[in-house]
Amino acid sequence: MSLRNFSRLDEAPIKAVDLHSGIESTLLIMQNRLQAGEHQPEIQVIKEYGNLPTITCYPAQLNQVFLHILNNAIDAIREYGINTKQPQIQIRTEAINPQQIRIAIANTGSFIPVHIQERIFEPFFTTKPVGSGTGLGLFVSYSIIKKHGGNITVNSLLCKETEFTILIPITT
């Protein structure tokens, strides 16, 4: 059922949805990547969901954005968050005015230098080793958010966190 909720293949392409159900479906699909491994602690997901109205959007595409950002957060924690005893991903949502919502997804234990932050949404740009990443995930995410009339930004603080912030209108 979670895969069907995530893909929304049997639904109209644009419709009013509960954004939190899309985030939850994405987290359910990624559950195994969040679990502890032989030499890696479990990644704790902290959800601070605001009171959001349903939003008119392309839900399958927004779920794809959540998947890309969460996958990158997990990769960053697993690769660079070695000194983080309890790695976390924090997801915050809020309606910032009657026309717009904010979704912030932050992870502990990684840092993106400014020169990379400036290029992170470019097609084919990746910091992963050859054969490990296509450099399309964040570019596709950026394109989807723009298609929704929104904006996506990244902010990374040394020794603290990396946060992606998505602003999208309630009605596309």
Confidence of residue 172 (pLDDT cuts 50, 70, 90): low
157: β partners: 161
Asked whether the beta carbons of 106 and 161 are under 8 A apart, the reply is: yes
| pLDDT tens per residue, range 94-111 | 999 999 999 999 998 788
- pLDDT given for residue 8 in this prediction: 47
Confidence of residue 30 (pLDDT cuts 50, 70, 90): very high
CA separation for the pair 87, 45 (Å, rounded): 9
- Phi, psi for residue 148 in degrees, rounded to 5: -85, 0
Has residue 34 got a pLDDT over 90? Answer: yes
Confidence of residue 10 (pLDDT cuts 50, 70, 90): low
- pLDDT given for residue 12 in this prediction: 60
Q: Is the pTM of this model over 0.95?
A: no
Q: Convert 107-145 to b/e letters by CB count within 10 Å (16 or more is b).
A: bbbbbbeeeeeeebbeeeebbeeeeebeeebbbbbbbbb
- Cβ count near 6 (within 10 Å): 23
Higher pLDDT, residue 113 or 100: 100
Whole-number percent of the chain with pLDDT over 90: 61
49's tokens: 């969901």
Has residue 155 got a pLDDT over 90? Answer: yes
- pLDDT given for residue 142 in this prediction: 96
Question: Which domains, and CATH codes, for the chain?
Answer: 2-169 (3.30.565.10)
Higher pLDDT, residue 11 or 131: 131
